[in-house]
Amino acid sequence: MKLNDLRPIPGSNTKASRVGRGRGSGSGKTAGRGTKGQKSRSGGGVRPQFEGGQMPLYRRLPKRGFNNKRFAKHYITVNVGDLMCMEDGSLVDAASLAAAGVISLPKVNDGLKVLGDGELTIKLNVKAKAFTATAREKIEKAGGTCEVI
């Protein structure tokens, strides 16, 4: 098969019906828009949130309080079990985890956070922005160190 042999499936592409081309076409004169009214005019119609002059929902609902979403920290998280792929006694930070393929480096926003899911049997020196209590406990139990940077 070559590029010049390619054809669309029959019936998949039909010509658009041209409106306003006389009475015999079936959609002439008012072109299927009805007679008069806002939606019959060119450029007419209302925006999606318009509720016919009623106070719209987004204005009826109360808006109050503080949302921390804009200021929240976005850590990339790694479980203790994921650190088992590293060599015994090695230094573990964001760069070494990226080199090992555990994380992708562009995703490190506000730093690395180590979570406590999984088991650790090797000694590691871990440098991260944050540790959970169980993660710190498991790393130190295995003989490693936790350093907050």
pTM metric for this prediction: 0.54
Q: Is residue 23 part of a domain?
A: no
Q: Is residue 93 part of a domain?
A: yes
At residue 108, the pLDDT reads: 63
Domain count, the chain: 1
CATH number, position 90: 3.100.10.10
Q: Is residue 6 part of a domain?
A: no
> What residues make up the domain containing 120?
70-148
Digit-coded pLDDT (tens) for 66-78: 988 888 888 888 9
Kindly report the backbone phi and psi dihedral angles of residue 83, in degrees, each rounded to the nearest multiple of 5, phi listed first. -80, -5
Q: Is residue 80 part of a domain?
A: yes
Mean pLDDT calculated for residue range 85-94: 86
Query: CA 11, 12, 16, 22: dihedral to nearest 10 degrees?
Result: 10
Radius of gyration, alpha carbons of the chain: 31
Q: Decide if 31 contacts 43 (C-beta within 8 A).
A: no
Q: Is residue 77 part of a domain?
A: yes
At residue 107, the pLDDT reads: 65
Q: Decide if 130 contacts 113 (C-beta within 8 A).
A: yes
What Å distances lie between residue 111 and 44, 56, 127, CA to CA? 51, 42, 10
